[in-house]
Amino acid sequence: MTSHKIEVCHSADLKKLLVEAGVVCARTVPQSEDISLSSEESVKDEPVQEIEAEHEQIVLEEERTYPTEEVAEEQPGIFPTPSLRKMLPEKIRMIEKHNRIHVLPDVFKTDIDPMKIPRICSTHPQKYINELAEITGCKNYMNSLAEFWFLDTLANLLRRAQEDGFEKTSQIVLIQWFCEWMKEIQHFDAATRQRMLKRFKDIMLLAAGYLAQYDELPAPADVGVSYKPEETSGASLPPTASTSKHVVTFEDFQCCLTDLTKITHYIFDL
């Protein structure tokens, strides 16, 4: 519940900043009879004074939660933060991989057709699970509880995104970031909670920097982010914005910034 209140406050602050800057995301959120009254709508019905009081309380809690002085960490050899994997010989790592039970596919699909993304609220659960399995490449979900959990969680994230009015292009980016973060967690064998949160923060700031430069939501590959250390070494912003053959619509900067904020909260809530 606390994370939801923080999300509401962050969204309100972002909306205020955009209005002060003279830009507003004109995209409208689609209304559907299948969508029940969400907790966010109930928060909107509360008196303004209560929301402001909660906002101030959350800000104070955030200030108390995070120390004012950060512990100096060794400069990363791998961008944007040090690898969270143990330094093991490749032979040992291959043996561990062979002995490990199946969790997720070795590689997720990245070439996603936006027209195949199901509308979660109006699609039968078995059907959208099958469609998401085809989109991401999870072919063993009927025999793997881990893959089924992954698909079910992805469906919930897409439901939130679709209720928030995400366009197809933003939904594709959400899928790609969720897949990347699941792979990151799968290989975080040398991570602590603090290092994981720091890496997630750095990755999202990297995505925000790309957005500020190119006015579009970046996929993990666009900013050189990968759970594989050999693929992230020396990564930096690409010289030009990436293009996709599955372009549906172009979103303005303010809409993309709003979507990136929500994507950050969606994944962080996990």
9: closest CA among 42, 43, 47?
Answer: 43
pLDDT in tens, the chain (270 residues): 456 666 677 667 766 666 666 666 766 666 554 544 444 444 444 555 555 565 566 555 555 554 444 445 554 445 566 667 777 787 887 887 777 777 888 889 989 999 999 999 999 999 999 999 999 999 899 999 999 999 999 999 999 999 999 999 999 999 999 999 998 888 887 778 888 888 898 899 999 999 988 888 999 989 988 877 554 444 444 444 443 444 444 457 788 888 999 999 999 888
The per-residue pLDDT for 152 is 96
Show the tokens assigned to 206.
Answer: 């990297």
Angle CA(214)–CA(216)–CA(222) in degrees, nearest 5? 80
Alpha helices in the chain (DSSP H): 2-20, 39-44, 48-65, 90-99, 125-136, 145-163, 168-186, 193-214, 229-232, 253-268
**pLDDT in the model for residue 76:** 47
Look at residue 101 in the predicted model and tell me its pLDDT. 72
What local confidence, expressed as pLDDT, does residue 4 receive?
Answer: 66
Please give the pLDDT value at position 245: 40
Between CA 103 and CA 183 the distance in angstroms is: 10
Listed residue (138, 208, 151) closest to 178, CA to CA:
151
Contacts of 54-61 spanning 24+ positions with Cβ under 8 A = 54/5, 54/9, 55/9, 55/12, 58/2, 58/5, 58/6, 58/9, 59/9, 61/2
Query: Angle at which helices 168-186 and 193-214 pack, to 10 degrees?
Result: 150
What is the model's pLDDT at position 249? 44
